[in-house]
Structure 1
Amino acid sequence: MIEAILPPAVVAVEAFDDIPGEPPFPGEEHLIAEAVESRRREFVTARRCARAALRTFGHPDAPILPGPRREPRWPAGMTGSITHCAGYRAAAVARAADVPLLGVDAEPNGPLPEGVAESVTVPGELEMLDRLDRSHPGTHWGRLLFSAKESVYKAWFPVTRRWLGFEEARLTIDPDAGTFTAKLLVDGARVDGGPSLTVLNGRFRVGRGLILTAVTAM
């Protein structure tokens, strides 16, 4: 599913279930030593998807360890993103020279918990969500906004090395085109010397009870 919202330069691997009893990859056991079983399963499957994607670029299987914000650390010259939710796990990777910014996220197509929408929106977004709920029922637009901002953060952090709060990006969603735009409300200076980030663009897909979002920049 997710490859439909990613450019050809990105390789994505996804899974809709887990392999019963699959052990962690050697070198990753300590990362989930205290995790509950559901967390262990999603971690193992999502990391397996990531290694399968990396193999297409010639990278041998190896542990994928976390950085300071628990973000996956990719082989030199690569960028990527991992996501998982109930019934879905996926990883997307690309050469950083081709796709320097990459973030993906998956969420169930269901309502956000009570009060969450107010905490993840900026002025004007709740009204947008209300309009979308009326004009395009069947998609939980608050959940989609949440997922889109997660994808924005995953694309943002590797090139800025700074936190980005939900309240620091304003989203505009085009339901017919299946796209969204995030206007960044904070300084977007990059540590890699690239142009400062002011706007990030993404795509979304809804199906099989899931909301999938992706942010890329070429």
Structure 2
Amino acid sequence: MIERIVPASVAGADLFEDPSDVELFPEEEEALAQAVDKRRREFTSARACVRRALDALGLPPVPVVPGPRGEPGWPGGVVGSITHCEGYRGAALARSSQVAAIGIDAEPNGPLPEGVLEVISLPQERVHLRELSRRDASIHWERLLFCAKETVYKAWFPLTGLWLDFEEAEVEIDPARGTFAARLLVPGPAVGGARLQGFSGRLLVENGLILTAIVVPAPGVADLPAPGVADLPLPGAKTA
């Protein structure tokens, strides 16, 4: 699924169940020394996706261990992002000559736990969500907002090394085009001498899952090749 919402220069790989034959590098095993079974399964399956994505880029498998804030430690010349939720594991990688940062996230298409929406959203975003819900109640828009904001952070962090709170970015969803826009409410990172004011992303809702992706072009790369499915509207979206 993930390859449908990332540019052609990004290698995406995903799994919908956990394989039993994934061998981890010693460094990865060490990172799992205190992990419970659920964490081990998520980590291991995500690394299987990483191996596939590296292979698609023509690169050998390497250990990818979490950094101080849990961020994946990519090999030199590579940028990427990992996500996992119940029933889904995914990775998206690219060469840093083409892409400055990637963020992806996956969530079940279900309601957020009670009280979470108020923590992760701005008042104007909640108005936007109510409008979207009136148009299409089959999608849990509050969960989609959460997924998009997680993706914003994953694209932001490699460029800044800093935390970004949920209320420091305002997200607007365009279901007709299968896209979202995130406006930063704090000074954005500089990429190639230009300061970013926000991020643009793509989204997909299918098979009970919500996927979101942001890909920031590297300096000097004006446009990235389009995803395999361009401007994919969500189910039931009005495309007037």
TM class by shorter chain equals over 0.9
Output aligned runs, 1:59-78, within 5 Å. Answer: 59-78=59-78
Give per-residue Cα distances to partners, 1:160-193, cap 9 Å, x unaligned.
1111111100011111111000000001133x65
Aligned to 1:44: 44
Contact residue 54 and residue 93 of structure 1 kept, 8 A:
yes
Contact residue 122 and residue 170 of structure 1 kept, 8 A:
yes
Output aligned runs, 1:24-173, within 5 Å. Answer: 24-173=24-173
Residue ranges of structure 1 left out of the alignment (5+ in a row): none
Give per-residue Cα distances to partners, 1:7-58, cap 9 Å, x unaligned.
0000001000012374533321121222221111111000111122112223
Please tell me the root mean square deviation across aligned C-alpha atoms, in Å: 1.4
Measure, in 2, the Cα distance between the counterparts of 1:128 and 1:180. 12
CA drift at 1:205: 0.2
Q: Give structure 1 regions of 4+ aligned residues with deviation exceeding 6 angstroms.
A: none
How does the TM-score come out when normalised to structure 1? 0.95
Identity among equivalent positions (%) equals: 54
Contact residue 156 and residue 189 of structure 2 kept, 8 A:
no
**AA at the equivalent of 1:183:** R
**AA at the equivalent of 1:112:** L
Change (3 A) 1:56 1:202: same
SS at match of 1:28: helix
Contact residue 25 and residue 44 of structure 1 kept, 8 A:
no
SS at match of 2:213: strand
Aligned to 2:212: 213
Contact residue 99 and residue 217 of structure 1 kept, 8 A:
yes
Matched positions, count? 217
Contact residue 173 and residue 181 of structure 2 kept, 8 A:
yes
Contact residue 120 and residue 146 of structure 1 kept, 8 A:
yes
